[in-house]
Each structure stands twice: as structure tokens, then as C-alpha cells.
Structure 1
């Protein structure tokens, strides 16, 4: 990750005002994680969005907004529910799902998971090392930690989306190097 991307992230956080000010102190965790995922996107990866049951509203929000901007190319973010809407209750089910996705997305894919690190939805997302994880109540390597007890959680998720989208646009238009 370049210093330019870190500086750009700080500028975007500050431009978003109090909405995203909480992220300023955590930008050193946020920036490398997001930069690594944007690199995958530029390499042609598709991101498959999964949320726990409490965050389904955010999945709908994210997917409705990510390609709403008509001034930039569409980006490959899709819902797992739209591809495979059956329960994965065993490791074998997860392996079969990953086989299906490997065939379906030959340029590569990763999961984008927002939720607690419990249940099979998390296990599906965690089955790919490249996955982007926004986890609640537990910190894991290569994930972004949030507290499910935070009264401002919904606002924080929306502000994370906004900073992510601004970073995506800047990288796509070569306004900043990763």
C-alpha cells in the first residue's frame, strides 16, 4: 500500500465530516485491508457479499449503491443469495460451493462478509483467504473489527461504505495508487 493511498483515505475521512470522524483513528487498520481488496478487484476478482441475519439490510443497501454511480464502470459485487440460496451446513457443502464459484468466476472471487464470526455464513466467507471481513465482537487477522453493541453501528457501516466507494472510484480512475 502506498503512502498516497493512506493520505487519500485520511482526506476522504475528513471530507466526510463527523459522519466518518471515528474512522480517522483506525485508518491504519482500514487502509491496508481495503487496499489489498481493491488490488483483487483490479485483478478481475468478483466479490460475493454475505451478511449475518442482523445485517441483511446492509447487504441490500451495499448492493443497491455500489453500482448506482453511472459515471464509473460497474464493479463485480454480487449477493451469495442470488447465486446459491441453500444452506451450507457442513464443510463438504462449503467445499462444493467453492467449487461452483471457482467454475463460475474463473478470474477469481472472494467473499465480502459483514457480521459476527459464528455460523456457517462466516465459515463460508472465511473459507477464502482473500475474503474481506467486517467482523463484530472479535478481531481476526485481515479483518476490520466493529462492536455489535455500538449504538452508532448502522451509521458506521454506512460511513465505511462511503469511504470504501470513494477509494474504489479513486483507484479505478487512477487518482491514487495502491
Structure 2
């Protein structure tokens, strides 16, 4: 079983579709991905994916590819959060957030976590930013325990696809015990 950080660097270097910029961010990437995958595989939590409106295309991409039959792995619990609560753009009060969390606690007895991809100041970011186990890919704000990107980066869409590719490969490697993401 290969050490997770070394596996990540090797995978970035060997995969011609992942650019070297991600290797430079390995110390930001590895702990966040480790926490995310541990939440799924070890703690049995479901992942509720949310994006800002500009990244709706990416949400569709993730949900189409994460459980593709071509992967030859068990389906994993990734869901579009809007299928549970369609008025996310309208959430404004603490009571609304409390009611949503109550609904999710009932719906997911093993727990859940958010995966948010988008601008930090977007209304859809409120719930994931203030939830303990969120996996955050945040634009235009430096937030601790988040992978921080710039919305004005010309290569942003390509970077998102590369990050997803690496994340997906990490999921498979962890699922098939090729790596231990906790070490």
C-alpha cells in the first residue's frame, strides 16, 4: 500500500491529462481529499454536491462521471443537493439552515457532508461553508480547510476537470486498498 502523498505526486506526474500545477498544491490537496474520502469510505457519509450557478455544468459532469459503470467499482453516495432542497438560493435565515440540517440528519442517519465548488460569496456557499465536514473548492477567498482558486483564472475550467480526475482516481485507489488516505 503506497503512502498517500507519494501516490498523489506519482499520479499527477504519470497522468498526461493532469497538469503540474496541481503538484505544487499537493500540501493543500492531500489533507482535504483525505478528510473527504475518509468521510465517505470510513464513516459512511453521503456527499451532497453543490456548485454556484456558473459551475452547474461541473455539477452535472461530476454526477455523470462519479458513478460511471466504466469505473468497475461500487456506486458511491454522491447526490445533487438541489434534489433535496431546490430553493438553496433563497436560504437566508439561521432557522432555514437549521430546518435543512434537521431534514438531512433524518435523511442520512450515517451522516452527510457537502462538496461545494464555487464562489465564496455565493448564496449557495452558506450551508457548506458553515458545516463541519465540507469539502470546499472555493473561489476568490482564502479559506482555511478549503482548496482555494481564482474565478478569473483563464484555466479554471480545465483545473476543475483535472482536480476531479485526480479526486476520482483517489477514490478508486482508496476503495481498492491501493492507498490509505488517513496516513
Q: TM-score range by the shorter chain?
A: over 0.9
5+ long unaligned stretches in structure 1: none
Q: Which has the higher contact order (CA 8 A, sep 6+)?
A: 2
Question: Which residue number in structure 1 is paired with residue 51 of structure 2?
Answer: 51
For 1:3 and 1:28, locate their aligned partners in 2 and report how far apart those are by CA, in whole Å: 17
RMSD: 1.4
Counting matched residue pairs gives: 177
Question: Which residue number in structure 2 is paired with residue 25 of structure 1?
Answer: 24
5+ long unaligned stretches in structure 2: none
Matched, 1:112 2:115: yes
Question: Which residue number in structure 1 is paired with residue 61 of structure 2?
Answer: 61
Give the one of 91, 99, 105 matched to 1:96: 99
Q: TM-score, normalised by structure 1?
A: 0.95
Q: TM-score, normalised by structure 2?
A: 0.92
Question: Which residue number in structure 1 is paired with residue 136 of structure 2?
Answer: 133
Once superposed, which parts of structure 1, at least 4 consecutive aligned residues long, lie more than 2 Å away? 17-20
- SS state of the match for residue 92, structure 2? coil
Q: Deviations over 1:13-35 (max 9, x none)?
A: 11223632110111111011101
Once the two structures are TM-superposed, the CA of residue 89 in structure 1 deviates from its matched residue by 2.4
